[in-house]
Amino acid sequence: MKVESIVEHITIKIDGEDVQVPKGINVIEAVKMAGKGKVVPHYCYHPKLSIAGNCRMCMVEMGMPMRDRATGEAILEEDGSPKIGWMPKPTIGCATDVAPGMHIRTDSEMVKESRNGVTEFLLINHPLDCPICDQAGECRLQEFSAEHGRGYSRFIEDKNVKPKRTRLGPRVMLDDERCILCSRCVRFTQEVADEDVLGFVDRGTYSTLTCYPGKELAHNYSLNTVDICPVGALTSTDFRFKMRVWFLKRTPSICTESSVGANTEIWSREGKIYRITPRRNDAVNDTWMTDSGRALYKAVESDDRLTHYTIEGVHKTSDEVAAAAVEMLKAGDAVVVGSVHSSLEEQFYYGMIAQRCSAKPMLVSHYGEGDGLLLSEDRSPNLRGALVTGLIDALPTADLEPLARSVEAGSVKTIFAVNEDLTELGLSKELLAKVQVIYVGTHANATSEVANLVIPSLMVFEKDGTFINQNFLVQRFKAAVPGPRGIQPDFTVLEKICAPLAQEKPAPVTIDAVWERMAATFDILPEDARWRTLPEAGLALDGTAFQELQFVETKNLKYDPAKAEVPQAEPAGV
């Protein structure tokens, strides 16, 4: 489904070699794309922010073929090759867009010498406290100093003294001495977060990053400044001093906060999550995510996790609970209350279960206020998944009043509820006492307390699966940490319930086996689509079949309800 965007390509020469690059990109991107492993080091340049050109690290030599001023004809060298007019000074790669015939030198003496110079300058007033700095291991300054630094200092003067622990906001701390004044954070708050709170005060070498008087960096995107800070100046109050980054395992995941489905990376060690950072996906979240989305992992270690399969409060095995659930469902008059938080694979199973026991599937909406950026009105990651898997064909409802009336009337015997606290949706505990309740969920709540059967479920960080976001982009997430001991992946347990309902023998299932069945069942999914082979940047589905539905999302970073067009997945890079 990936659509190749039509971009005009031009030929430039990088260090003497002809390469093809898209028109309109700058030299840093061109070298990254076509330079065969070469990189142009840079600090202030960020692909999603405006060009500042202030770090002076990305300097390259640039030349264009010379032309005769009078005739406009190319001037040739003696050997017939075009004569190149090299600029006498190095130019910054970030502000230089490629042009046909452009020549770039990324490793000439002049380039090396200017990069070394900038590195020396950045280090003279830098505290060089890498051993106690949280950024160590992912610090641009540290990396480039290894390559461009001289290894000793010619600076015998006193270093500048600046504030070491400035609280910029509830989640961000600033060490001004480490700051290299690249202005990435300033530009981010102005251009992306659209809340102008950061700026420099004082002049020259005394320039200091600070919040405007009476303001603080408190908006829901403040931690992105920590991500883009190339040095250890901005640190997260949540993560700082907790763990060295090189010990952490990185697992690609998807943010479950809203239907935006921001691509994330889970940083974990020995089964414990330490932080969540955004992963670049230009079709979804660029390189950003919300602060609130980063805090979601804390629920993993919550005390009220459901950790045992139980029947009437007694610990049982998953097989026993599944068998009991099958009995209840077979008795008829069942209702399945699915969840917009479940993965695509789980929703597929809930749909099948509902179908096999002729239960009416229901879904409850989780809406909130959107911020027009990366937090959409739909606070669930997989509403589109429920539509794609046919679990529902209309938008979910706000509560379960009709179900409550049916229970009152005695026409419902069993409620199979997933992740929803029914007591908050119109079904009081007294009402629930009239029926049998099978509850599947991650955390304990009033419903799990009264449920006859409890099937603990895994959180997004603990399992493999997929979500479909607001743009009908199928996105994959992987298990970063193991779930509570003894808890099986949801679809394994669901298979044990689903198969017997159709007089089948439960088969051991893998996620790709589920995908094989889904791909065969739903036309909207490509027939050969498998979880393992889903593109890193997501698989775009054609959502036109659902365009009649009044989705609640309003315009945000990558979504425009006015233009119901399919996003084109682009290769993700960093």
Partner 1 sequence: MALQQTRLIFKHIDEPGYTNDIDCYMQHGGYEQLKRAVTMKPEDICADVLTSGVRGRGGAGFPAGMKWKFLDRKSGKPIYLVCNADESEPGTFKDRQIIHKDPHQLIEGMICSAFAIQAKLAFIYIRGEFFEGYRILERAIEEAREKNFLGDNILGSGYSCDIIVHRGAGAYICGEETGLIESLEGFRANPRIKPPYFPAALGAYQCPTIVNNVETLCNVKHVIDMGGEAFSKIGTPGNTGTRIWCVSGHVQKPGYYEFACSELTLGQLIYDVCGGLKPGRQLKAVIPGGSSSKILRADERFTGKLKDGSEFDWGIEDIPMDFDSLMAVGSMSGSGGVIVMDDTTDMVEALANINYFYAHESCGQCTPCREGVPWMRKVTQRMVDGEAREEDAELLKSIADQIAGRTICAFGEAASWPVQSFIAKFKDEFVEKAREQAARRKEGKEAALETTLI
* Nearest distance from C-beta of residue 24 to partner 1, angstroms: 13
Q: Which residue, 161 or 331, has its beta carbon nearer to partner 1?
A: 161
Tell me the C-alpha distance between 26 and 194, whole Å.
Answer: 25
Q: What are 394's two structure tokens? A: 């209309």
Would you say 320 and 443 are in contact if contact means Cβ atoms under 8 Å apart?
no
* Nearer CB in complex with partner 1: 44/337: 44
At position 25, the amino acid (one-letter code) is I
DSSP string, 468-484: E-TT-EEEEE---S--S
Two tokens, residue 334: 């069942």
* Closest distance to partner 1 from the beta carbon of 298 (Å): 39
What stretches of 182-317 show up as alpha helix (H) in DSSP?
184-191, 223-228, 291-294
CB of 124 to partner 1, least distance (A): 6
How many CB atoms are located within 10 Å of the residue 429 CB?
12
Binding residues for partner 1, rule: CB under 8 A, are 51-57, 59, 88-90, 92, 95-96, 113-114, 117-118, 120-122, 124-125, 154-155, 157-158, 180-181, 200, 202-207
Q: Which is nearer to partner 1, 55 or 501 (CB)?
A: 55
- Shortest distance, position 120 Cβ to partner 1, whole Å: 7
CB closer to partner 1, 204 vs 508: 204
Q: Which is nearer to partner 1, 125 or 469 (CB)?
A: 125
Query: Amino acid identity, residue 554?
Result: T
The residue among 122 and 260 lying less far from partner 1, judged by its C-beta, is 122
Closest CA to 541 of 513, 572, 557, 564: 564
We find the least distance from the C-beta atom of residue 53 to partner 1, in angstroms, to be 4
**Do the bridges between strand 334-337 and strand 414-418 make them parallel or antiparallel, or are there none, so unpaired?**
parallel
The first and second tokens of residue 298, run together, are 């804390």
Q: Considering only CA atoms, which of 337, 331, 274, 265 is closest in space to residue 300?
A: 274
Residue (113 or 304) nearer to partner 1, CB:
113
Between residues 142 and 492, which has the closer beta carbon with respect to partner 1? 142
CA separation for the pair 200, 309 (Å, rounded) = 56
**469: Cα within 13 Å, side-chain hemisphere:** 33
Closest contact distance (angstroms) between CB of 93 and partner 1 is 12
Bridge partners of residue 361, in order along the sequence: 336
**DSSP labels, 296-364:** GGGGGG-TTB--S-EETTEE--HHHHHHHHHHHHHTS-EEEE--TTS-HHHHHHHHHHHHHTTPEEE-B
Question: Quick one: which of 403, 425, 429 has its CA closest to 334?
Answer: 403
Beta strands in 137-239 (DSSP E): 166-167, 172-174, 198-201, 208-211, 234-236
Beta bridge partners of 539: 474
Backbone dihedral angles phi then psi of residue 18, each to the nearest 5 degrees: -70, 130
Smaller CB distance to partner 1: residue 15 or 120? 120
Give, in order, the Cα–Cα distances in Å from 306 to each of 100, 455, 486: 62, 8, 11
- Strand ranges of the sheet holding 172-174, from the earlier edge strand across to the other edge: 166-167, 172-174, 234-236
> Backbone phi, then psi, for 173, in 5-degree steps?
-115, 145
Distance of closest approach, residue 115 Cβ to partner 1, in angstroms: 10
Measured distance CA(383)–CA(393) in Å, rounded: 11
Residue nearer to partner 1 on the CB measure, 124 or 323: 124
Shortest reach from residue 156's CB to partner 1, in Å: 8
Is residue 47 within 8 A of residue 27, CB to CB? The reply is: no
- Report the nearest approach of partner 1 to the CB of residue 136 (Å): 21
The nearest distance, CB 20 to partner 1, in angstroms, is 24
Smallest gap from residue 83 Cβ to partner 1 (A): 23
Least Å distance between CB 512 and partner 1? 50
Is the Cβ of residue 90 or residue 381 nearer to partner 1 in the bound state?
A: 90
Of 117 and 372, the one with the shorter C-beta distance to partner 1 is 117
The count of other CB atoms within 10 Å of the CB of residue 562 is 7
Q: How far is the CB of 96 from partner 1 (least distance, A)?
A: 8
Residue 125 φ/ψ region, left for φ over 0, alpha for ψ in the -120 to 50 degree band, beta for the rest: alpha
Of 398, 342, 403, nearest in space to 367 by CA: 398
**In the complex, minimum distance from the CB of residue 14 to partner 1, in angstroms, rounded to a whole number:** 20
Is 162 or 280 the residue whose CB approaches partner 1 more closely?
162
